[in-house]
Amino acid sequence: MTALLVALGGGLGSVLRYALGQRYDDRWHHGTLAANTGASLLLGACAGWALGGNALALVGTGFCGGLSTYSSLMVQTRDLGPVRGAAYLVGTIALGLAAAALGFAAAR
Amino acid sequence: MTPGPRHLLAVAAGGAGGAMLRYAATHAQPDGGGFPWTTFAINVVGSAVLAGLLLLPLARRSTVWAAALGPGALGGFTTFSATSEQARSLLADGRTGLAGAYVVGTLAAGLVAVVVVGALAPPLPEEDEL
């Protein structure tokens, strides 16, 4: 049951990320950045709400995990080259941390 | 090539499978309270496999399979949100050095992996990098 909820959330999150990327990624990967930041915000809130069990499996492990991506972040960073890649990577990580902190604080 | 409904379905199915695989890995070997080694390994391995995706004949032959495996399975398998939340939690506990080592260690290992594997593999089209 729990694994199925992870699969459901992961499928939905992945499609949303893909659609955001299709629509908004161009010279900069705005769509992927929005997906990673939004997923960090929501997962921070899941921690603030102290979600567990099936709710965490669906929303946190599944949806947030599917919506966010580390593999694309790495490949996109490499392909942007040293300067723009570093800016994209540092920006994504800083926004992700800030979003997780904001989500956690807002949910408590 | 404009991805259509079949690509979206492929990403959904791949993402579901990738997320389940990540869940199974963290279930078998939980991250615990220190350095999140399982999530670290998931993200580094997933990045390496995405960089080498077109070494797979299946992914070269079909854009639908490439979408299922790249943005789908590997996007669902790897997670950026967990690294953000884990780093936030470590910082909140005052474990600044560990948080820094985790964030920098993951991105450094991931970048080395995609550069090394990418040197051996055909370049990915834009739509498979999402």
In the predicted structure, residue B1 carries a pLDDT above the cut 80: no
* ipTM reported for the complex, 2 dp: 0.97
Percent of chain A with pLDDT over 70: 100
- Per-residue confidence (pLDDT) for residue B61, from 0 to 100: 95
Mean pLDDT of all residues in B71-83: 98
- Per-residue confidence (pLDDT) for residue B4, from 0 to 100: 87
- Per-residue confidence (pLDDT) for residue A72, from 0 to 100: 98
Mean pLDDT of all residues in A51-78: 98
| Number of other CB atoms surrounding residue A26 within 10 Å | 9
Which one of A37, A75, A79 would you mutate to disrupt binding with B, by most B Cβ within 10 Å of its Cβ? A75
In sequence order, what are the residues at sequence separation of 6 or more whose Cβ sits closer than 8 angstroms to the Cβ of residue B112? none
Q: Which residues of B touch A65 (CB under 8 A)?
A: 19, 22, 76, 79, 81-82
Task: Give per-residue pLDDT as tens, B91-116.
Answer: 999 999 999 999 999 999 999 999 99
Q: Distance from B101 to chain A by nearest Cα, in Å?
A: 14
pTM of the predicted model over 0.90: yes
H/E segment holding residue A107 = helix A71-107
Give the orientation angle of helix B37-51 with respect to helix B96-120, to 10 degrees.
20
In the predicted structure, residue A8 carries a pLDDT above the cut 70: yes
Q: Which of A8, A15, A40 sits opposite B84 (nearest CB)?
A: A40
Task: Give per-residue pLDDT as tens, A24-47.
Answer: 998 889 999 999 999 999 999 999
A and B: number of Cβ contacts within 8 A: 199
Interatomic CA distance for residues B130 and B126, integer angstroms: 7
Q: Which residues of A touch B71 (CB under 8 A)?
A: 14, 17-18, 21, 69, 72
Q: Distance from A13 to chain B by nearest Cα, in Å?
A: 8
In the predicted structure, residue B70 carries a pLDDT above the cut 60: yes
In the predicted structure, residue B3 carries a pLDDT above the cut 80: no
Distances (CA, A) of B95 to A21, A45, B26, B35, B101: 34, 21, 22, 10, 10
Q: How far is CA B75 from the centre of its chain?
A: 5
Q: Which residues of A touch B91 (CB under 8 A)?
A: 97
Task: Give per-residue pLDDT as tens, B28-63.
Answer: 999 988 999 999 999 999 999 999 999 999 999 999
In the predicted structure, residue B14 carries a pLDDT above the cut 70: yes
Average pLDDT over all residues of chain A: 97
Percent of chain A with pLDDT over 90: 97
